[in-house]
Structure 1
Amino acid sequence: MTNRRYLDQRLKLHHLRAVDAIAAHHSLLKASAALGITQPALTKTLQELEEILRQRLFDRLPRGMRPTEAGALLAQFSRRMLAEIRRLDEELDRLSGPDGGVVAIGTLPVAATGVLPGALTRLKRQHPQLRIRLEQGRTEDLLPKLVSGEIDLIVGRLYEPAMPDGLLREPLWEEPISVLARRDHPVFELPEITLHALRHYELVLPTVTQRVGQEIEAFLDRLALAPASSLRSSSYGFIREMLHATDMLSVMPRLMMAGDLLRGTLKVIPLPEAAPPRPAGIILPPNRTPAAAGQSFLAALRAHIAEIGERGLASITSPHSSAARSNKTRLR
Structure 2
Amino acid sequence: MTLRRYLDQRLKLHHLRAVDAIVAQRSLMRASTMLSLSQPALTKTLHELEEITGQRLFTRLPRGVRPTEAGTLLAESARRILAELRRLDETFDRLSELGGGTVAIGTLPVAATGVLPGALTRLTADHPGLHARLDQGRTEELLPKLAAGEIDLIVGRLYDPAMPDGFSREPLWEEPISILARTGHPVFHLAEITAAALRRYDLVLPTVSQRVGQEIEGVLSLMDMAPTGSLRSSSYGFIREMLHATDLISVMPRLMMAGDLLRGTLRVVPLPVPAPPRPAGLILPRDRPLPPAGLAFVACLRAHVAEIGQRGLATITVGYGSVGESDRTGSAARA
Aligned to 2:277: 277
Alpha-carbon spacing, 1:167–1:227, altered in 2? closer, same or farther (3 Å): closer
CA deviations 1:140-159 (Å, max 9, x no partner) are: 11111111111111110000
Determine whether 1:13 maps to 2:13: yes
The Cα shift of 1:311 comes to 0.2
The Cα shift of 1:41 comes to 2.1
Amino acid of the structure 2 residue aligned with 1:194: T
User: Structure 1 CA distance, aligned partners of 2:67 and 2:185?
Assistant: 56
Determine whether 1:132 maps to 2:117: no
Judge conservation of contact 2:195–2:272 (CA < 8 Å) in 1: no
User: Structure 2 CA distance, aligned partners of 1:314 and 1:24?
Assistant: 37
SS of the aligned residue for 2:216 comes to helix
Alpha-carbon spacing, 1:70–1:308, altered in 2? closer, same or farther (3 Å): same
Aligned to 1:24: 24
Structure 1 residues 310-329: aligned runs within 5 Å: 310-319=310-319, 325=335
The Cα shift of 1:104 comes to 1.0
Count of residue pairs the alignment pairs up? 325
User: Structure 2 CA distance, aligned partners of 1:37 and 1:209?
Assistant: 33
SS of the aligned residue for 2:66 comes to strand
User: Structure 1 CA distance, aligned partners of 2:245 and 2:262?
Assistant: 18
Aligned to 2:219: 219
Structure 1 residues 86-235: aligned runs within 5 Å: 86-226=86-226, 228-235=228-235
Aligned to 2:246: 246
Judge conservation of contact 2:220–2:227 (CA < 8 Å) in 1: no
SS of the aligned residue for 1:283 comes to strand
Amino acid of the structure 2 residue aligned with 1:231: L
TM-score, length-scaled by structure 2: 0.92
Judge conservation of contact 1:315–1:323 (CA < 8 Å) in 2: no
SS of the aligned residue for 1:276 comes to coil
SS of the aligned residue for 2:104 comes to strand
- Structure 2 unaligned blocks of 5 or more: 322-331
Amino acid of the structure 2 residue aligned with 1:204: V
SS of the aligned residue for 1:173 comes to strand
Amino acid of the structure 2 residue aligned with 1:89: D
Judge conservation of contact 1:122–1:300 (CA < 8 Å) in 2: yes
The Cα shift of 1:277 comes to 0.4
User: Structure 2 CA distance, aligned partners of 1:56 and 1:180?
Assistant: 54
SS of the aligned residue for 2:80 comes to helix
Cα RMSD over matched residues?
1.7
User: Structure 1 CA distance, aligned partners of 2:281 and 2:290?
Assistant: 15
The Cα shift of 1:228 comes to 4.6
- Does 255-264 or 45-54 show the bigger shift? 45-54
The Cα shift of 1:36 comes to 1.9
Aligned to 2:296: 296
User: Structure 2 CA distance, aligned partners of 1:203 and 1:43?
Assistant: 50
Judge conservation of contact 1:5–1:53 (CA < 8 Å) in 2: yes
User: Structure 1 CA distance, aligned partners of 2:6 and 2:227?
Assistant: 67
Judge conservation of contact 1:177–1:252 (CA < 8 Å) in 2: yes
Determine whether 1:41 maps to 2:36: no
The Cα shift of 1:40 comes to 2.3
- Does 92-101 or 309-318 show the bigger shift? 92-101
Amino acid of the structure 2 residue aligned with 1:298: V
Judge conservation of contact 2:203–2:249 (CA < 8 Å) in 1: yes
User: Structure 2 CA distance, aligned partners of 1:279 and 1:263?
Assistant: 23
Aligned to 1:329: none
- Structure 1 unaligned blocks of 5 or more: 326-332
Amino acid of the structure 2 residue aligned with 1:90: E
User: Structure 2 CA distance, aligned partners of 1:136 and 1:298?
Assistant: 17
TM-score, length-scaled by structure 1: 0.93
- Does 200-209 or 139-148 show the bigger shift? 200-209
Alpha-carbon spacing, 1:320–1:14, altered in 2? closer, same or farther (3 Å): closer
The Cα shift of 1:271 comes to 3.2
SS of the aligned residue for 1:164 comes to coil
Amino acid of the structure 1 residue aligned with 2:226: A
The Cα shift of 1:309 comes to 0.3
The Cα shift of 1:267 comes to 0.5
User: Structure 1 CA distance, aligned partners of 2:3 and 2:200?
Assistant: 77
Judge conservation of contact 2:173–2:281 (CA < 8 Å) in 1: yes
The Cα shift of 1:6 comes to 1.5
The Cα shift of 1:11 comes to 1.6
CA deviations 1:145-199 (Å, max 9, x no partner) are: 1111111111100001011101000000000111111111111122222222222
Structure 1 residues 61-72: aligned runs within 5 Å: 61-72=61-72
CA deviations 1:244-291 (Å, max 9, x no partner) are: 111111111110110000000000112342211000001001111110
Judge conservation of contact 1:28–1:39 (CA < 8 Å) in 2: yes
User: Structure 1 CA distance, aligned partners of 2:320 and 2:258?
Assistant: 25
The Cα shift of 1:49 comes to 1.9
Instruction: State percent identity of aligned pairs.
Output: 73
Aligned to 2:324: none
SS of the aligned residue for 2:156 comes to strand
Amino acid of the structure 2 residue aligned with 1:274: P
